[in-house]
Structure 1
Amino acid sequence: MSVHPDPAPPVGSRGIDEILAAARSRLTRLDAPAAAAAQRDGALLVDIRPVAQRAAHGGIPGALIVERNVLEWRFDPRSDARLPQAGRYDLPVVVFCQEGYTSSLAAAALQELGLHRATDLTGGYAAWQAAGLPVTA
């Protein structure tokens, strides 16, 4: 028996491009200089990249590393697994990934938890690095 993909998507389903656009429509995304300014003003910069990407590309000084698979548990103020910094809903959080796609979905998920100031870094770590902002090896 061979498996063939369905020719038409299920009724009511959305493709990833539509899901991403919906997530971004709720965010006030920050470019790299604005994200750096937000960090200086007390926002948490959160690196959700897997360890292999961080090892290959470097990091942002002062960024909090919280891999994507545990992000909601670490930032939900109601969660027993939350980080010490994540005890309030008005916490300014700027999520970043390598190029700024996964971070949009992650920031929207944090907003769904009630963290209304959560957003992401447009272009991700690559944009930060291209802007000449500080990085770690």
Structure 2
Amino acid sequence: MSLFVAASCVNQKQSGVEVVKPDGFETKMAEADVQLLDVRTPEEYASGHLPNAKNYNVLADDFESKVAALDKEKPVMVYCKMGGRSSKAAAKLKELGFKHITDLEGGIMSWESAEKTIVK
């Protein structure tokens, strides 16, 4: 069993994407130079989003060109509604050369369940 756990940790670390629960995500949001991305649609973003988040719709044709303007050396944090789109966005960011990527486990739904701040 411990071999499986060790292998799982190695695979997650190699992926370059850290998936964290709302409390850990909130702590990381407070770090310097964080680039926080809401990868949902503009309509979803307008209905409520995390403080200081920028809207970069992962399903839009211009997603790659928009994120290309971000600093690849600074931490980038992503979230969506439940975690599916942010996982895709994180994989794309990794492919584009971003070094420090954090994905919110369970998306904004888990954030709201944890009674964290939402901006409208």
TM-score range, shorter chain: 0.7 to 0.9
Larger strand fraction of residues: 2
Asked whether 1:67 is paired with 2:57, we answer yes
Q: Tell me by how many angstroms 1:55 deviates.
A: 3.7
The ranges of structure 1 where at least 4 consecutive aligned residues each deviate by more than 6 angstroms after the TM superposition are none
Bigger Cα Rg: 1
| Distance in 1, Cα, partners of 2:92 & 2:21 | 20
Q: Tell me by how many angstroms 1:125 deviates.
A: 0.6
Aligned Cα root-mean-square deviation (Å): 1.7
Larger helix fraction of residues: 2
2:45 corresponds to which residue?
54
Q: Alpha-carbon deviations, 1:35-71, whole Å to 9, x = none?
A: 1111101322210111222344x11111111121233
1:121 corresponds to which residue?
104
Q: Tell me by how many angstroms 1:30 deviates.
A: 1.6
Q: Tell me by how many angstroms 1:106 deviates.
A: 0.6
SS in 2 for 1:109: helix
Q: Tell me by how many angstroms 1:107 deviates.
A: 0.6
Q: Quote the sequence identity (%).
A: 28
Q: Tell me by how many angstroms 1:102 deviates.
A: 0.8
Q: Tell me by how many angstroms 1:119 deviates.
A: 2.7
Is there any run of 5+ residues in structure 1 with no aligned partner, and where?
A: 1-23, 77-81
